[in-house]
A and B are shown apart, each in its own frame.
Chain A
Amino acid sequence: MRKTLPRAALGPLFALATAAHAAVMTPPVAPPSVPFTKATVIAGAKFFADHCSACHAVSNLRYKRMGADLGLSKAVITKSFMKPGGANYLKGMRPAMTQAEAKKWFGLPAPNLSHMARALGPRFLYTYLTSFYWDPKRPSGWNNHVFPNVAMPYILAPWGGIYTKNGKLLVPGRETPAVFDRHVADVVAFLRYASDPSVFERRAIGRYVIGAFVILSILAYLLKKDYWRDVHDKEAPGGAQKGATAKSARKG
């Protein structure tokens, strides 16, 4: 029935609909509940700088901005977060590898992760990062439950361990599953921050702004009540009195 649609307008639409992102097929695993705080984001940023920024850019997030948001000094940022080789304090996070190199090694450049958390959602990112398995049929040796035939090698294997498709542990990782899951959750927290860097600033001032508007509302309400008193009085000359007696009666 749908096929009868002329292509011009709706044709592309329904074609798109069938090409749904393969990722949506498996329900995301719930990340362990880690508080989304500056501390977890800093831990995640460190982890990201060590393991991910070899390939991935976070080009919209400048190191300077990150330092300001997370309360880190330029010295700390330069020492622990910026990788040698072209990283600029005033610029966004760039991968150590060039796009051409990435293309040669993985078939495609690793995507810029600036907006990834907003686009895919933190739950999906967590699931993606914990769903890699060993697949000898793939050229890289890796596959992913929620991203079939993924081009990214599982660089976290030394920490998280190597599993088969059925979930059998082949080689245990350096970290216990609990510790590893926390680390992954930290990275996801960092990516969440990177996709929405105003988050700490917003939270810090939000309550004052809301407080100011609440006070304004209360004052406006009192003013309104005062002005409207004569409307209600005029309404029912006996009514206002009746209200008053009822009140005093209840008090008595």
Chain B
Amino acid sequence: MSKVVDWFNARFPAREMMREHMTEYYAPKNFNILYYTGSLLLLMIVLQLLSGFFLMAHYVPTSQDAYNSVQGIMYDTKWGWLVRYMHVDGVSLIFILLYLHIGRGLLYGSYRSPRELLWVIGYLIYVLMMGEAFFGYILPFGNLSYWAGQVITSIIHAVPIIGPGLTTLARGGPGVGTATLERFLALHAVLWFLILAACIGLHILALHKVGSNNPDGIEIKDHKGPDGTPLDGIPFHPYYTVKDIFGVGVFLTLFAAIIFYAPTMHGVFLERTTFFRANPMVSLPDVTPPWYLAPYYAMLRAVPNKYEGIALMVAAVVVPFFMPWLDRCKVRSSRYRPVYRFMILLMAVTFFTLAYVGEQPPLPKYFLIERLGATIYLGFYLLLPIISRFEPTRPVPERVRS
């Protein structure tokens, strides 16, 4: 047996990789519950790939048959409902995990030097994931899919000069139809997904180069023992592998509860309007995006001018990329930055309020909330460079607390 292993290791750096990324990768010992999110996101990406594979085996990307092929999966395919609910509910769970994962990064200052690139790659994954979700959303070709595709592709119309050409390119014709489904399927399942997967790989590599941050925001590499390993670090394997397996168990329990007992989550994970066939003649009362994209949509609606609205939305999506350079405070973790901590909580509450408002019909009573929300959300990022220079901080301990 060991001969086979040696033969293999002489030809492939398996042992080195195992050491570098598992047994001799030191992670801080004071991770809290928010640090499960990374491994759970990896798990979910794999599950989406698996369930997506089975969906694709039955899916027909034509405007005529797409809706019925998906319903065929639900009604006539053995375990089809399981695969589809896994895939659909999986998206919402991925976004819940992403928001916790990003929130964790904000709370503990994980975007700060030397983790700027890790943050930028991570946020790029989030933006790519929004695209991935949008392409997938159009595929079942319910009436909501049709109108969402129509509305979102027409937003590209606003791009100066090349806008109209781009819209036609995205749709593959004047309107959303078979050509749109074919190219969206190719993007969703092949090109976009591969880019996403590659970025996830880069994310992990970047993480292992700089090492994990922790809830205290203290660099564990600053306190090394005589053997050269961080005093507050423990090898990822076996400590965090067993811990993450526990996290996977709890997460899968919740996931199964949703799939088996509330697969549409009362119309939040799988909206009602997706149960009508796409029909260009029957307009929907309101085309609202799924909950995880709704905050941006609320910001789009916050200004009456279309171009200004789109500019605001793009700004809201782009500005977090610059987080590492917007924060000027000497202290990393919000545990020792009461003002920053308050700002993050306010921003998070605002973000999810916008998600709620973005799901509502465009009634005048929501305009004020939309505007206030957009102001607070962007205000957080724009005021941070000033506030973080003067904000009061608490003394940071030398070593991590456990």
* Residues of A in contact with B (beta carbons under 8 Å apart): 1-2, 4-6, 8-10, 12-17, 19-21, 24, 60-62, 65, 114-115, 118-121, 195-198, 201-203, 205-206, 209-210, 213-214, 216-221, 223-224, 227-228, 231, 235
15 A-B pairs whose Cβ atoms sit less than 8 Å apart in the complex: A4-B305, A9-B154, A9-B155, A10-B301, A65-B75, A115-B276, A118-B272, A119-B273, A195-B275, A205-B260, A206-B261, A210-B253, A220-B246, A221-B246, A227-B238
Contact yes or no, A202 B253, CB < 8 A = no
* Cβ-neighbour of A209 out of B256, B273, B309 (below 8 A): B256
Q: Which residues of chain B (217-261) have a CB below 8 Å from chain A?
A: 234, 238-239, 242-243, 245-246, 248-250, 252-253, 256-257, 259-261
Contact yes or no, B253 A227, CB < 8 A = no
**Bound: A248/B273 CA distance, A:** 62
Contact yes or no, B252 A213, CB < 8 A = yes
| A213-B272 CB under 8 A given contacts A206-B256, A228-B239 | no
Contact yes or no, B154 A8, CB < 8 A = yes
**B284 beta carbon closer than 8 Å to chain A:** yes
Nearest-neighbor residue (CB-CB) of A223 within chain B: B242
**Bound: A62/B283 CA distance, A:** 30
* Cβ-neighbour of A16 out of B157, B260, B283 (below 8 A): B283
**Bound: A177/B29 CA distance, A:** 66
Contact yes or no, A220 B249, CB < 8 A = yes
**B147 beta carbon closer than 8 Å to chain A:** yes
Q: Most chain-A CB neighbours within 10 Å: which of B74, B243, B245, B256?
A: B256
Q: Chain A residues near B285 (CB, 8 Å)?
A: 16-17, 19-21, 24
State the Cβ distance, B357 to closest chain A Cβ, in Å.
14
Contact yes or no, B245 A1, CB < 8 A = no
Contact yes or no, A16 B286, CB < 8 A = yes
**Bound: A203/B260 CA distance, A:** 6
| A114-B71 CB under 8 A given contacts A16-B286, A224-B243, A227-B242 | yes
**B76 beta carbon closer than 8 Å to chain A:** yes
**B306 beta carbon closer than 8 Å to chain A:** yes
**B151 beta carbon closer than 8 Å to chain A:** yes
Contact yes or no, B76 A121, CB < 8 A = no
**Bound: A158/B301 CA distance, A:** 50
Q: Chain A residues near B157 (CB, 8 Å)?
A: 8-9
Q: Mask for B108-142, Cβ within 8 A of A = 1, else 0?
A: 00000000000000000000000000000000000
Q: Chain A residues near B326 (CB, 8 Å)?
A: none
Q: Which residues of chain B (76-99) have a CB below 8 Å from chain A?
A: 76, 81-82
| A119-B249 CB under 8 A given contacts A5-B304, A203-B261 | no
Contact yes or no, A210 B305, CB < 8 A = no
State the Cβ distance, B287 to closest chain A Cβ, in Å.
6
| A15-B306 CB under 8 A given contacts A202-B81, A203-B261 | no
Q: Most chain-B CB neighbours within 10 Å: which of A61, A203, A209?
A: A209
State the Cβ distance, B229 to closest chain A Cβ, in Å.
12
Q: Chain B residues near A1 (CB, 8 Å)?
A: 304
Q: Chain B residues near A196 (CB, 8 Å)?
A: 263
**Bound: A73/B325 CA distance, A:** 69
**B353 beta carbon closer than 8 Å to chain A:** no
Contact yes or no, A8 B283, CB < 8 A = no
Contact yes or no, B239 A115, CB < 8 A = no
| A231-B239 CB under 8 A given contacts A120-B272, A220-B245 | yes
Contact yes or no, B253 A2, CB < 8 A = no
**Bound: A17/B310 CA distance, A:** 19
Q: Mask for B345-356, Cβ within 8 A of A = 1, else 0?
A: 000000000000
**B2 beta carbon closer than 8 Å to chain A:** no
**B150 beta carbon closer than 8 Å to chain A:** yes
Contact yes or no, B275 A119, CB < 8 A = yes
Q: Most chain-A CB neighbours within 10 Å: which of B75, B155, B157, B273?
A: B75
Contact yes or no, A121 B249, CB < 8 A = no
Nearest-neighbor residue (CB-CB) of A239 within chain B: B402
Contact yes or no, A224 B76, CB < 8 A = no
Contact yes or no, A65 B76, CB < 8 A = yes
* Cβ-neighbour of B250 out of A2, A24, A65, A217 (below 8 A): A217
| A17-B362 CB under 8 A given contacts A8-B158, A9-B157 | yes
**B264 beta carbon closer than 8 Å to chain A:** yes
Q: Which residues of chain B (280-310) have a CB below 8 Å from chain A?
A: 283-287, 301, 304-306, 309-310
**Bound: A20/B287 CA distance, A:** 11
**B165 beta carbon closer than 8 Å to chain A:** no
**Bound: A161/B301 CA distance, A:** 48
**B173 beta carbon closer than 8 Å to chain A:** no
State the Cβ distance, A23 to closest chain B Cβ, in Å.
10
Contact yes or no, B275 A13, CB < 8 A = no
Contact yes or no, B402 A224, CB < 8 A = no
Q: Chain B residues near A228 (CB, 8 Å)?
A: 239, 242-243
State the Cβ distance, B147 to closest chain A Cβ, in Å.
7
State the Cβ distance, A101 to closest chain B Cβ, in Å.
22
Q: Chain A residues near B158 (CB, 8 Å)?
A: 8-9
State the Cβ distance, A25 to closest chain B Cβ, in Å.
12
State the Cβ distance, B69 to closest chain A Cβ, in Å.
12
Q: Chain B residues near A224 (CB, 8 Å)?
A: 242-243, 245-246
Q: Mask for B304-324, Cβ within 8 A of A = 1, else 0?
A: 111001100000000000000
State the Cβ distance, A43 to closest chain B Cβ, in Å.
22
**B392 beta carbon closer than 8 Å to chain A:** no
